[in-house]
Amino acid sequence: MKLAKLLNVDRILLDMKATEHWAAIVELVDFLTEMGDIPKDCREPILTALEEREAQVSTGIGSGVAIPHTFSDTLEEVVAVFGRSKEGIDFEALDNAPVHFIILFIVPRKDYHLHLRTLAAIAKMFTNCEVRRNLATAICRNDILDILDPKPNRVVNIGTEPC
């Protein structure tokens, strides 16, 4: 599954305020709740599930990237959000480096197979240092989407197109 298929401009938070691991996850879940992508009555169960997942091992995979994720018994489709922190977040990442990019996603339990495919696609994309560099300098949410969904034979000129 392509990450860009899960995102739109309304699911991108360019300037996260959180500076710590758990606060960053809460900020992203609250953002999705405010946007109406997560029903208000699902917020607490989703946060509990994310907390249980993070208690196993941090989802900070290194190179400034974290991929918190969980399952939901109530959501009907995968919900994802991209958050960027210019200052960096202490996410207890595997390499102990601050996290600048967080992709949080919630998968309906009935679509369990999407979980591993989504994780693999995200991890693969973020191993590319050019992708991370471009995301760090992107000016607007449309730029972020262009970086996450590159089209063949298309040059992405970050910051030159209207946002």
- With a cut of 90, say whether residue 161 has pLDDT above it: no
Q: What is the pLDDT of residue 153?
A: 41
At residue 35 the predicted structure's pLDDT band, cuts being 50, 70 and 90, is: very high
pTM: 0.88
Instruction: At 139, list the tokens.
Output: 């000016």
Q: Could you write out the DSSP letters of every residue in 35-69?
A: HTSS-GGGHHHHHHHHHHHHHHS--EEETTEE--E
| Per-domain residue ranges of the chain | 3-148
Q: Residue range 124-133: average pLDDT?
A: 91
pLDDT, tens digit (0-9, with 9 covering 90-100), for 133-153: 999 999 999 999 999 886 654
Cβ contacts of residue 50 below 8 Å, gap of 6+? 25, 29, 68, 69, 70, 104
Q: What is the pLDDT of residue 151?
A: 61
Q: Find the catalytic residue in 69, 100, 113, 115.
A: 69
pLDDT, tens digit (0-9, with 9 covering 90-100), for 61-84: 999 999 999 999 999 999 999 999
Cβ contact 132:65 at 8 Å: yes
Q: Tell me if the domain spanning 3-148 has CATH number 3.40.930.10.
A: yes
Catalytic residue list contains 113: no
Q: What is the pLDDT of residue 32?
A: 97
